[in-house]
C-alpha cells in the first residue's frame, strides 16, 4: 500500500457540560467525573512528508500566535515523539497547524492538536496503530487528549483520560467568549484545593447532565450544567463572573466557564438564539464572540479531492 504525502486531520475544541472534581490524588491529579462535548470550533493539522520533524503555525484572528509553543513543548510535537517511540522509530513530518481554538482557554486546543498529530502521522507513515494504542498514547500526552480523539459527547473518569461515549440526542448551540489572556490549568486546580480543603475524594456524579442529554431539551441541560472549577476560575478572574451575568441577562439559558477557563460558554435555545446573543455580546464591547454547535466528530482525516 502506498502512503500519502500529505494528510490533514481536523480536531475539535471541547467544553465540559459537567466537571465534578474530587480531592487531589497522591500523584497530584484530581479525580474527575466529567461530561465532554466536542464543538464545531476546530484546529486543522496537516502533516507533509519531510526528512525532519518540524512545526509551523497559522492562527485565526482571535488566537494570539505568540502564546503557542512551537518547540518541543508543543503537544503535537510530543505526540510525534511518543508515537514514534511506540513504533521504535523516529517520525518525521512537516506539521502545519491552522489554529482556531484559543490557547490556554479551557477548550483543550493543545490536546486537539496532539490528537490530530497522532492520527495524521499514523496515516502519513502507514503505521496502522490500533485505536487502543492511540488512546493509551493520548492519555500519556494529557488528560483531555483521549477525548480529543474520540469526540462526540463522552463521560470522562479517572483524571479525565478514561472516556466512554454517552447518549446525546440533542443539537446544542453555544456562544463562546474567549479571553485574550489564558489561565493556567494547574493554578486553577490549586485554587480549587485552597477553596475546598475538605473535598470528597469521590467526584460528584454526572447523572443530571446525562439525563438532560437524553431529553435533547436545552432548558433541561441548562439547569444541569455544572463546573466545579468555575468558582476558583472566577476567584482568579472576577470579570468572568460579570460576563456570565451579562450573557444570562441578555437571554442565554445558562453561562458557564469552560473547563479551567477563562473561555465562557453560553447555552442557547437554537442557532438563531445563539446568533442574537452573540450580536448582543459584541455590542456590549466583547471583541471576540463565536458561535458553535455540538456534538461534532473527533479527530478525523479531512478528505482531499485535489
List active site positions.
14, 144
Q: Which is nearer to ligand C5P, 146 or 151 (CB)?
A: 146
Q: In angstroms, rounded to a whole number, what is the distance separating the alpha carbons of residues 269 and 219?
A: 8
279 Cβ neighbours under 8 A, 6+ residues apart: none
185 binds ligand C5P (CB under 6 A): yes
- Sign of the CA dihedral running 291, 297, 300, 305: negative
- Piece in contact with ligand C5P (CB under 6 A), picked from 6-14, 24-32, 78-86, 172-180: 24-32
Query: Which residues, 6+ apart, have CB-to-CB distance to 301 below 8 Å?
Result: 7, 8, 9, 119, 120, 123
Question: Which one of the spans 26-34, 82-90, 202-210, 224-232 is the region binding ligand C5P (CB under 6 A)?
Answer: 26-34
Binding residues for ligand C5P, rule CB under 6 A, total 11
Q: Which of 4, 6, 29, 133 binds ligand C5P (CB under 6 A)?
A: 29
Q: Please identify which residue in 143, 179, 293, 299 interacts with ligand C5P, judged by CB under 6 A.
A: 143
32 binds ligand C5P (CB under 6 A): yes
Distance separating alpha carbons of residues 179 and 246, to the nearest angstrom: 15
The partner residues of 43 in beta bridges, in order of sequence, read: 11
Among all chains, which residue has been given the C-alpha cell 518541543? 72
- Nearest distance from C-beta of residue 108 to ligand C5P, angstroms: 8
Q: To the nearest whole angstrom, how small is the minimum distance from the Cβ of residue 58 to ligand C5P? A: 24
Pick 17 or 280: Cβ nearer ligand C5P: 17
Other Cβ atoms closer than 10 A to 67: 14
The window from 12-20, 27-35, 202-210, 272-280 that contacts ligand C5P (CB under 6 A) reads 27-35
CB nearer to ligand C5P: give 37 or 293: 37
Q: Any idea what DSSP says for residue 99?
A: E
Contact status: 36 vs ligand C5P (CB under 6 A): no
What nine digits make up the cell of 76?
A: 503535537
Question: Any contact of residue 186 with ligand C5P (CB under 6 A)?
Answer: yes
Tell me which stretch binds ligand C5P (CB under 6 A): 36-44, 79-87, 185-193, 208-216: 185-193
142 binds ligand C5P (CB under 6 A): yes
Mapped onto helix, strand or coil, the DSSP state of residue 173 is: strand
Which residue has cell 480543603? 197
**Pairing of β 93-99 and β 162-165:** unpaired
Query: Rounded distance, CA 237 to CA 249, Å?
Result: 20
Q: How far is the CB of 189 from ligand C5P (least distance, A)?
A: 4
Q: Which is nearer to ligand C5P, 34 or 153 (CB)?
A: 34
Closer to ligand C5P by Cβ: residue 139 or 268: 139
Q: Determine if 160 is a binding residue for ligand C5P (CB under 6 A).
A: yes
Rg (CA), the chain: 19
Helices 131-141 and 109-124: crossing angle in degrees, nearest 10, is 140
* Euclidean distance between CA atoms 99 and 134, whole angstroms: 22
Our finding on whether 104 is near ligand C5P (CB under 6 A) is no
- Length of the chain as a residue count: 306
25-33, 52-60, 237-245, 285-293 -> range binding ligand C5P (CB under 6 A): 25-33
Enclosing H/E stretch for 118: helix 109-124
Interacting residues toward ligand C5P by CB under 6 A: 29-30, 32, 142-144, 159-160, 185-186, 189
Amino acid at each position: 500500500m502506498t502512503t500519502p504525502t500529505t494528510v490533514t486531520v481536523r480536531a475539535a475544541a471541547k467544553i465540559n457540560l459537567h466537571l465534578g472534581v474530587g480531592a487531589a490524588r497522591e500523584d497530584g491529579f484530581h479525580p474527575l467525573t466529567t461530561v465532554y462535548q466536542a464543538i464545531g470550533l476546530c484546529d486543522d493539522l496537516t502533516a507533509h512528508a519531510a526528512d525532519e520533524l518540524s512545526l509551523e503555525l497559522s492562527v485565526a484572528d482571535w488566537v494570539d500566535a505568540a502564546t503557542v509553543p512551537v518547540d518541543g513543548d508543543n503537544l503535537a510535537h510530543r505526540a510525534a515523539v511518543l508515537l514514534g517511540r511506540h513504533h521504535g522509530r523516529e517520525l518525521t513530518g512537516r506539521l502545519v497547524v491552522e489554529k482556531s481554538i484559543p490557547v490556554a482557554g479551557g477548550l483543550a486546543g493543545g490536546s486537539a492538536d496532539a490528537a490530530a498529530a497522532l492520527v495524521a502521522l499514523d496515516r502519513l507513515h502507514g503505521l496502522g496503530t490500533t485505536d487502543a494504542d492511540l488512546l493509551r498514547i493520548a492519555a500519556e500526552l494529557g488528560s483531555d487528549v483521549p477525548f480529543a480523539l474520540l469526540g462526540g459527547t463522552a463521560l470522562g473518569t479517572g483524571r479525565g483520560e478514561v472516556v466512554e461515549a454517552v447518549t446525546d440526542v440533542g443539537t446544542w448551540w453555544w456562544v463562546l467568549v474567549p479571553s485574550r489572556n489564558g489561565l493556567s490549568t494547574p493554578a486553577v486546580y490549586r485554587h480549587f484545593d485552597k477553596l475546598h480543603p475538605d473535598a470528597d475524594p469521590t467526584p460528584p456524579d454526572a447523572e443530571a447532565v446525562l439525563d438532560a442529554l437524553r431529553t435533547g431539551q436545552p432548558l433541561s441541560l441548562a439547569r444541569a450544567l455544572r463546573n466545579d472549577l468555575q468558582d476558583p476560575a472566577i476567584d482568579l478572574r472576577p470579570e468572568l463572573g460579570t460576563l456570565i451575568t451579562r450573557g444570562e441577562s441578555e437571554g442565554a439559558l445558562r453561562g458557564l466557564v469552560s473547563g479551567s477557563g477563562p473561555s465562557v460558554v453560553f447555552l442557547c435555545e437554537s442557532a438563531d438564539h445563539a446568533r442574537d446573543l452573540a450580536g448582543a455580546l459584541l455590542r456590549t464591547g466583547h471583541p471576540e464572540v463565536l458561535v458553535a454547535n455540538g456534538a461534532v466528530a473527533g479527530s478525523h482525516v479531512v478528505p482531499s479531492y485535489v
